[in-house]
Structure 1
Amino acid sequence: MPVSGNGVVASSVAALTAGLIVPVLRLLLNKAEFPQYEPSGPLAPQYDFIVVGGGTAGCVVASRLSEVGGWRVLLVEAGPKPPPETYVPGISLAASALSHYSLDWDYTYVPQKNALKNYVDQTGVLQLGRVLGGTAAINGMIYSRGNRRDYDHWQALGNPGWDYLSVLPYFVKSEDYRGHSLGETEAYHGRGGPLAVTPGVAGPLTRAFLQGGLEMGYPVLDSNGPQQIGFTATSYTIRDGVRCSTAECYLKPASSRPNLHVLDSATVLQILFDDTKRAVGVKIEDNGKVVSVASLREVIVSAGVVASPKLLMLSGVGPRQHLQQNKIRVVADVPGVGQNLQDHIGVYGLSWTINKGSTPSLLERITPSSFKQYLTNRQGPLSTPPESVSAWVKISQEGDPQWTDAQIFLFPVTWALDKGLFTPRAFGVDRKVSLHCRQRPHPLLHSHTGAIL
């Protein structure tokens, strides 16, 4: 991200500090002995399936395909295997800010004229994980399926099988809900699936927030059940004190299968097509060498909302005029590739003081004793994220009254969490704004709408 003046110094100091802290943190957490991925051996010249992108979806696809013993499956991920700090829920936000320098694609939006005025050059950061597990390996681990009407709308647009009642069985099958019975919404959840979902601890902040919702006439409900509008406690993708991304719960257990090859830290440069426009392989850059690998059945592009259309266009699939402008041979003129990207709109910075002791501060959570407890039995403050809670509401008057259009997300930290050292750089915020926030009392509440950490 382009910065000027003191911003360059601050960014350099943050990068240098992260470079000193991260190795120490990883050395300490190596004692936790997290399960390792099985080595895959040398790259073969051909596979039945090639899955491009080892993010949330790609890890599931590669794992499920490899269940068929006769199919050879290659998964290619541009980023590395998850480092130790990404496994620990209690330092997930700190780890995300630190890992921004190595586990994120570091994409930014084009400068905005009428928005992002507290951001450097009015340019926002698009956070996308560059690591096995994708963004789910570095995010806040909140488990949220979305609104059922979104799925029904996707089917109405011409995507059969994407309606809510068709996808619900897969949510149930994949889930390992680890809380008490959910009563009337129990049928909407699964137990024993690969993806662990653990309810958060309902502390003072959660109880006060939910009570506030009741006083305003909103129900307290399970937002992953049949209805979403209301106030809800948070569930996390955590198993026994460890982050449970799809890399951990799908890919890692499958990595011992002899027919699954997991190639990390390698970039797919191009999809290869034959004369009939059928995808027959990929071109990969691995350890400085470019190699071509053939696919006997399919190439599955699962590289995320930015990398997937980018790869398709680099391979000649996309809007003809755009490809020709960039001197790319047109394989297929598909105007929709690269269009209609939509992101959450977040309103940050709404902060309130709370009574001292209502929630532990970051320094109270990250102590030598908490590290010792976590390393010993995966329990203690580091085994859970800081307390958070959400409300799903309908702001506009148009459309379905049960189709939510905003989320109010309550979290017990602000931009001043690290005194302006890492957070501004990670989120693209002007450091002067962060330093101004630093003058406010601590701890603070931080609420924003529409953005899910």
Structure 2
Amino acid sequence: MKGCQPLFSGTRRSPSVFRSAMSFFSSCAAALAVASPATALSWEQPRGVQQYGTFFGLPGQNATYDYVVVGGGTAGLTVASRLAENRSLSVAVVEPGTFSEISNGNNSQVPAYSYSSVSGDGEYVNPWIDWELNTVPQPQLQGNTLLYAQGKGLGGSSIRNQMIYQRGSRGSYDYWAAQVGDDSYRWDNMRQFFDKSVHVTAHNNSLRVANASVTDYAVTASLQTGGPLQVSWSNFAMPFSSWGLKALFAAGMPRLSNFFSDGNLHGAAYNPSTIDPKYQTRSSSESSFLQQAIESGSSLTVYPMTQAMEILFDDDKRATGVRVQSVGRNYTLSVEKEVILSAGVMHSPQLLMVSGVGPRKTLEENGIQVVADRPGVGQNMHDSCNAGGVTFPVSVISTAIRQRDAEYEARAEEQFNTNGTGILTNTGGDVLSFEKLPEAYRSQLSNGTRERLAEWPDDWPETEYVLSSSGSTLEGASATEQNYVDIGILLVGALSRGNLTIQSGSMHDKPVISTNWLLDEADQEVAVQSYRRIREFWSHVNITTGPEESPRTNVSTDADLLDFIKGAVSPIHHATSTCMMGRVNETMAVVDSMARVFGVKGLRVIDSSSFRFTPPGHTQAATYAHAEKLAEDIKRSLSGE
């Protein structure tokens, strides 16, 4: 199967899929039809906007709310739903996309199909759920232009990521707190907000083969009774993963038993994912936070398929609302309290600049009136990158079997539909490992690079190794008769910084993005030594059926490896900090530690763009915790704390 998968006949779909779809269709009908007073449920929405049995806002009608959240993504739906728990507050969410259950079908629900959503291959791009953003040509990457996937729809990137749930290191959050001058970001203080979002269900080893059991993972009571986001393990382990773990351990990698949740990342283990254990389907901010808000009858109003065009300010530089556009209609959503910008790492800084908050020179060049000269808007982009990996043919199955064996795929669909088991419950990569380069490899780094890496906290790993059974490093592998797997490299201690800017004063024009991966020579050195480390891992794997397929053993010098890496780099979609958090006296800081934008009033940025940096690893858990913490900050400020 390739591209968008058709819905299976008789597909098992979680109730949230039906709730979302039925709510969407019935709400659209209510919004577009002339409802009869005798048959419609109607009530007065905040400040006079009337709706008919729906939580959707009406396109084209001005309205006023206490809070308007721009962006219904991972952070946006989290903060909006938490604020709406207070029934005395009116909260609106503006989202350019819609429900992924409708716009992307099983590709957004079935874990095995998640790879198509994060692939750098434009053939897989679905514009209903993706912004189709590309970087400018990257000279340090052989001039390549790279597709950078960004979620579009209710749930944002949580509807199209690879669902990995993993928290950063203790030291990284203590470092964040020190950088912004606010101890509330220390690990011991942030942990409650990680726990608050999730409902963790222990692994079901009875459905996994014996040598792929998830062992020694203690799921505490607080995690089992936490928030609406479902976190669990797949009911199927990729066969290579157990062999790969043995190789990692044989090469000196410690075994982790904390499922990456206690602030220690150094080691390897089966990773948990945002999978609903009951159905083995994706759990996103839409299926968790939004559905919970809807079912509880909270004060939340959603404007789907609605683009925020401009944040509006009064003469006192206070945000008064947002000019939006949907179904060809322009109208204004005003606020009594604050605008909360949660449009994501690429679009939050773009909307700030379009609205007059950003580098003065950029704004004036695009004919935009300057509201606040903030040179850091769009700068400081911090992102891990996928530096490729080392691929071998193996004697166990990979996901390639689904492309070439129709009978196997049919059985897999039947297993998934019948009882939520089989290969379709697995994303194709279910083992993570992190480390600082061992001394044998670290000693090959230049003195300057070792000094630069020492700037990170002691527990911050430089590299992450991902065991992937998708054969993604080898182009065309899925079409062959062989099973290919790879051990991939993510540079989680990256020192390079990217940026973005605008090409006009319109949100309809895409931002101009330069990720600058490998621009810092220290990142290049780490990537080369990481490849050598991976080859050591492979020397302990005894299920290979042929020689190294990629990059091949003749690619052996530092120069040859670096040249290969430059052509292999692709996004892992962990960019942050384009509206960087910092202190008031930092020129490049955009928001303070409560996410309030410097230079204006009544405006916050709550999403990964307001991170101080990208914590080591995958950003999904960090984004939920960030939103939980800042939502709590707002609620406390309302109560006078």
Normalising to structure 1: TM-score of the pair? 0.83
Matches within 5 A, 1:339-378: 339-357=379-397, 361-363=401-403, 367-378=409-420
Deviations 1:306-360 (A, max 9, x none): 1001001111111112111111001111121111012222112521111144778
Question: Partners of 2:80 and 2:90 in 1: how far apart?
Answer: 10
Q: Is the 8 A contact 1:91 1:385 kept in 2?
A: yes
How far does residue 36 in structure 1 lie from its aligned partner after superposition? 2.1
* 1:198 match: 232
Give 1:228's match in structure 2, choosing from 244, 248, 265: 265
How far does residue 26 in structure 1 lie from its aligned partner after superposition? 4.0
Question: Partners of 1:338 and 1:359 in 2: how far apart?
Answer: 38
Question: Partners of 1:58 and 1:354 in 2: how far apart?
Answer: 43
Deviations 1:63-108 (A, max 9, x none): 1111111111101111121132211112222355634343111111
Give 1:36's match in structure 2, choosing from 16, 19, 23: 19
* 2:110 match: 88
Gap runs ≥5 in structure 2: 28-54, 204-213, 443-449, 491-571, 573-616, 619-641
* 1:427 match: none
Matches within 5 A, 1:17-416: 22=4, 25-26=6-7, 28=9, 32=13, 34-37=17-20, 38=23, 39=27, 40-43=55-58, 45-83=63-101, 84-85=105-106, 86-94=108-116, 98-115=124-141, 117=142, 122-160=144-182, 161-179=184-202, 186=219, 190-193=223-226, 194-200=228-234, 201-221=236-256, 222=258, 223-239=260-276, 240=278, 241-256=280-295, 257=297, 259-357=299-397, 361-363=401-403, 367-395=409-437, 397=450, 398-399=453-454, 400-415=457-472
* 1:429 match: none
Question: Partners of 2:12 and 2:201 in 1: how far apart?
Answer: 26
How far does residue 209 in structure 1 lie from its aligned partner after superposition? 2.0
Question: Partners of 1:63 and 1:179 in 2: how far apart?
Answer: 26
> Structure 1 vs Structure 2: percent identity of aligned residues?
30
Deviations 1:164-211 (A, max 9, x none): 111101111222111159868655971122111112444542222222
What secondary structure sits across from 1:224 in the alignment?
coil
Q: Is the 8 A contact 2:399 2:470 kept in 1?
A: no
What secondary structure sits across from 1:47 in the alignment?
strand
What secondary structure sits across from 2:172 in the alignment?
helix
After superposition, the CA RMSD in angstroms is: 2.9
Question: Partners of 1:357 and 1:384 in 2: how far apart?
Answer: 13
* 2:601 match: none
Question: Partners of 1:185 and 1:226 in 2: how far apart?
Answer: 15
Question: Partners of 2:202 and 2:8 in 1: how far apart?
Answer: 33
Q: Is the 8 A contact 2:201 2:219 kept in 1?
A: no
Question: Partners of 2:418 and 2:97 in 1: how far apart?
Answer: 29
Q: 1:95 to 1:155 in 2, by over 3 A?
A: closer
Larger Rg: 2
What secondary structure sits across from 2:413 in the alignment?
helix
Q: Is the 8 A contact 1:393 1:407 kept in 2?
A: yes
Question: Partners of 1:112 and 1:234 in 2: how far apart?
Answer: 32
Question: Partners of 2:329 and 2:11 in 1: how far apart?
Answer: 31
The aligned length equals 413
Q: 1:225 to 1:74 in 2, by over 3 A?
A: same
The AA in structure 2 aligned to 1:410 is: L
Question: Partners of 1:188 and 1:336 in 2: how far apart?
Answer: 42
Question: Partners of 1:281 and 1:255 in 2: how far apart?
Answer: 24
Deviations 1:398-437 (A, max 9, x none): 4244211111111111248xxxxxxxxxxxxxxxx835x6
